[in-house]
Amino acid sequence: MRAASDEKLNVRGLSAYYLTEKGPVKAVDSVNFALSQSESLGIVGESACGKSTLGSALMRSLQPPGKIVGGSILLDGEDISKLPGREFDKKIRWKKVAMVFQGAMNALDPVYTVGSQLRELLKEHEFEGDFGSKILDSLKQVGLAPGVASRYPHELSGGMKQRVVIAMALLLEPEILIADEPTTALDVLVQSQIIALLKRLHKEKGVTVVLISHDLALVSQIADKIGIMYAGQLVEVGSTQDIYTKPKHPYTQALIAAVPRLHSNEKKIRFIPGSPPSLLDPPAGCRFYSRCPHAMTVCQRDPPEFPSDTGYVRCWLYDPTLKST
């Protein structure tokens, strides 16, 4: 275990709901994890499990009816979830925590060159240095030639646009970069280039990367730790090696078993029967209960969470005191 002083980010009991007319949709519920500056985290889960909401909550970018309703986000020991909006914008957003939003490369303004869009961002954040060299530096950092600054988004390939978006996020030198599905809609070759870029930024520049994806294999290429998200909760957090080689939670086990293997003799692709519960009215106990082959009585009643070697697991199977149910 790392000493608390080594912690860059510590998320405790974070809950973010969508307050709809039908009631609160509990998209992120009691999420816990901690990261040091030198670590990177992968958040993996199927569609609509709450992983993008978690990213937006960390960035304080949830739009109504989305709202952080509980818990804390400690950045260097300061709870940034409680900072007044203006103070968060001034001190934290883009300067300490930046995010590459899902589909952001398609949101580049088509009528402005890359350089003017980067310049606008610097102006907005009252950057005091030399705009030109800052822009060229940030393009270089993501492997783009200086000439890209004078080009329009439609003149760039998908991979180049994604690099521009990452350059924008890195412009004010944040310590934490949250990347939500940064390789969606890119071909396999470009995907691996973007992952290599994030890896390099993490290793060489010391940026703490939080990578959100549905693709466990992709995430494992960069993450030191992985959090498996299911129905709004992180059901297992551990080192990438532990998650891959000895997954504990039945959902993690099923997720890994469902990945098709190139050299396997299995004729059928495995899948997880059933569907996730409604987040409007999730079960009181384990949220995987209705799909779990090991479900016990206690699972339906109480929500579990137990420490593991490199993180924790939300499953009653790992309760050291549970003798019978």
Given the rule CB under 6 A, which residues bind ligand SF4?
Answer: 249-250, 286, 288-289, 292, 294-296, 299, 304, 315-317
Amino acid identity of 161?
K
CB of 275 to ligand SF4, least distance (A): 15
Residue 100 makes CB contacts below 8 A (sequence gap 6+) with 162, 165, 166, 169, 177, 178, 179, 180, 182
Q: Which of 153, 169, 55, 54 is nearest to 107 (CA)?
A: 153
Asked whether 67 and 19 are in contact (CB, 8 A), the reply is yes
CB of 283 to ligand SF4, least distance (A): 9
Q: 265 or 324: whose CB is closer to ligand SF4?
A: 324
CB of 296 to ligand SF4, least distance (A): 6
Q: What are the CA-CA distances from residue 199 to residues 94, 139, 212 (Å)?
A: 19, 16, 14
Give dist(CA 250, CA 293) in Å, integer.
8
CB of 235 to ligand SF4, least distance (A): 7
Measure the N-to-C terminal CA separation of the chain; round to a whole number of Å.
Answer: 32
Q: 20 or 325: whose CB is closer to ligand SF4?
A: 325
Q: 152 or 289: whose CB is closer to ligand SF4?
A: 289
Q: 240 or 252: whose CB is closer to ligand SF4?
A: 252
CB of 299 to ligand SF4, least distance (A): 3
Q: 69 or 317: whose CB is closer to ligand SF4?
A: 317
Give dist(CA 123, CA 129) in Å, integer.
10
